[in-house]
């Protein structure tokens, strides 16, 4: 996920069109388990953090909290010309803006990012019913993290995400901003991954800090202690049920869900959606993001279902990033964004009654 790699992505986009992703193995069927949809939370790393924020606002009536890890403010990459010049040209402009102004802080002199403007933009989309009402998000609890050694998405950009949440009306007492660890660019753990200051695959770093527990406790309140050995079900499921033309929208063939013990049969368990970062999907790092981040350990003792949707590498998106600059189309911030549509349908499947199977 180095800056050099993302610069190569800009070059590829100039001459690329979206093509179907090459196949992975077909998965099982995502089960109906009667999950409690109105207690959903999201989190993500880097590009996944941006997608977590986009999903949070698109479906604010369902989402009660978000973990933004090494990511910036909602809508940061969208060009001011998005409404008047939709199409591949705008995606190109958005990507340049994303890299220079929403990862690095090179556009600060031009007022990018501008949390106040982004809050206005979010309210505009809500007024057009393209995302849920902003009032729904004001109740949310938000966890933000930046590492002092992160040179991919610099701390000032994550601070702008905090300021965006303030600007839409989320109180300081609902926001937790962790910025004092010497972490590189990645998901921080207590005892798994690379050295704390590393920025390298699988983008999981050991800083003696349980980030999964910290963000889940901030969102949900006091939790039961984590278990040492998860005993639930890890299911690889077919994402093709949830979106036609998966590959043309950057989605992988399969995703993964973890169902904690006791959450199978209409038990009303809560769902946490974890969005991987660029080059952090299962095709790139295997099950590292699923098994080493700590989410499963907290899920077992707290009746959580953890959904790990997956995107894939395409010519227009060779790093397998979630769409936070518009490579799937100009609607990427809205409920109609293909990737948001797919993940929402996965959530609805989990929330459906088992009797509907």
- Answer whether residue 79 is part of any domain: yes
Does the active-site annotation cover 46?
yes
Q: How many domains does the chain have?
A: 1
The answer to whether the CB of 38 falls within 8 A of the CB of 111 is no
SS3 of residue 195 by DSSP: strand
Does the active-site annotation cover 185?
yes
- Which of these is catalytic: 62, 132, 140, 150? 150
- Answer whether residue 357 is part of any domain: no
- Answer whether residue 343 is part of any domain: yes
Residue 221 has pLDDT above 60, yes or no: yes
50 Cβ contact list (under 8 Å, min separation 6): 44, 71, 72, 74, 76, 77, 102, 322, 324
Query: What percent of the chain is modeled with pLDDT above 90?
Result: 84
The answer to whether the CB of 65 falls within 8 A of the CB of 72 is no
pLDDT for residue 84 = 55
Confidence band of 24 (pLDDT split at 50, 70, 90) = very low
12 Cβ contact list (under 8 Å, min separation 6): 315, 316, 318
In the 8-state DSSP scheme, what is residue 143? E
- Answer whether residue 37 is part of any domain: yes
- Which of these is catalytic: 59, 62, 140, 185? 185
> Tokens standing for 100?
């220079």
- Answer whether residue 268 is part of any domain: yes
Residue 190 has pLDDT above 70, yes or no: yes
Q: Which domain holds residue 177?
A: 3-352
Query: What percent of the chain is modeled with pLDDT above 70?
Result: 90
Give the pTM: 0.91
The answer to whether the CB of 280 falls within 8 A of the CB of 45 is yes
Summarised one tens digit per residue, pLDDT across range 158-170 is: 999 999 999 999 9
Summarised one tens digit per residue, pLDDT across range 70-107 is: 999 999 999 876 665 656 678 888 999 999 999 999 99
CA distance 159 to 155: 6
Mean pLDDT for the stretch of residues 282-311? 98
- Answer whether residue 288 is part of any domain: yes
- Supply the Cα-derived Rg of the chain in whole angstroms: 18
Summarised one tens digit per residue, pLDDT across range 119-156 is: 999 999 999 999 999 999 999 999 999 999 999 999 99
- Which of these is catalytic: 41, 43, 46, 313? 46
Confidence band of 2 (pLDDT split at 50, 70, 90) = very low
Q: What is the DSSP string of 251-302?
A: B-SEEEEEE-TT-SSS---EEEEEE--TT-SHHHHTTHHHHSSSHHHHHHHH
> Tokens standing for 67?
């973990």
The answer to whether the CB of 142 falls within 8 A of the CB of 176 is yes
Greatest mean pLDDT among 24-33, 72-81, 190-199: 190-199
């Amino acid at each position: 996920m180095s800056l050099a790699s993302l610069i190569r992505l800009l070059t590829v986009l100039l001459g690329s069109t979206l093509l179907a992703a090459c196949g992975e193995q077909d998965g099982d069927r995502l089960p109906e388990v009667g999950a409690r949809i109105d207690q959903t939370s999201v989190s993500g790393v880097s590009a996944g953090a941006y997608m977590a924020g986009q999903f949070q606002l698109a479906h604010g009536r369902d989402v009660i909290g978000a973990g933004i890890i090494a990511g910036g403010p909602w809508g940061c990459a969208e060009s001011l010309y998005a409404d008047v010049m939709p199409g591949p040209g705008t995606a190109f402009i958005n990507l340049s803006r994303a890299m220079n102004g929403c990862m690095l802080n090179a556009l600060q002199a031009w007022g990018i990012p501008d949390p106040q403007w982004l809050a206005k933009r979010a309210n505009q989309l809500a007024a057009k019913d393209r995302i849920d009402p902003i009032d729904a998000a004001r109740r949310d609890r938000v966890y933000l993290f930046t590492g002092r050694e992160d040179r991919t998405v610099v701390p000032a950009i994550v601070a702008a995400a905090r300021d965006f949440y303030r600007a839409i009306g989320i109180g300081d007492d609902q926001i937790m901003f962790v910025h004092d660890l010497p972490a590189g660019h990645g998901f921080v753990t207590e005892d798994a991954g690379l050295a704390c200051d590393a920025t390298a695959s699988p983008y999981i770093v050991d800083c003696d800090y349980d980030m999964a527990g910290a963000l889940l406790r901030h969102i949900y309140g006091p939790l039961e202690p984590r278990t040492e050995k998860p005993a639930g079900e890890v299911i690889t499921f077919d994402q093709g049920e949830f979106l036609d033309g998966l590959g043309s929208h950057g989605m992988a063939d399969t995703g993964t869900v973890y169902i904690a013990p006791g959450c199978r049969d209409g038990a009303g368990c809560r769902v946490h959606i974890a969005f991987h970062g660029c080059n952090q999907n299962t095709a790139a790092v295997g099950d590292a993001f699923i098994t080493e981040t700590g989410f499963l350990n907290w899920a077992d003792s707290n009746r959580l279902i953890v959904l790990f949707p997956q995107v894939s590498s395409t010519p227009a998106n060779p790093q397998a990033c979630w769409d936070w600059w518009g490579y799937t189309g100009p609607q990427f911030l809205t409920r109609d964004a293909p990737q948001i549509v797919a993940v929402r349908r996965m959530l609805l499947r989990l929330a459906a009654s088992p009797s509907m199977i």
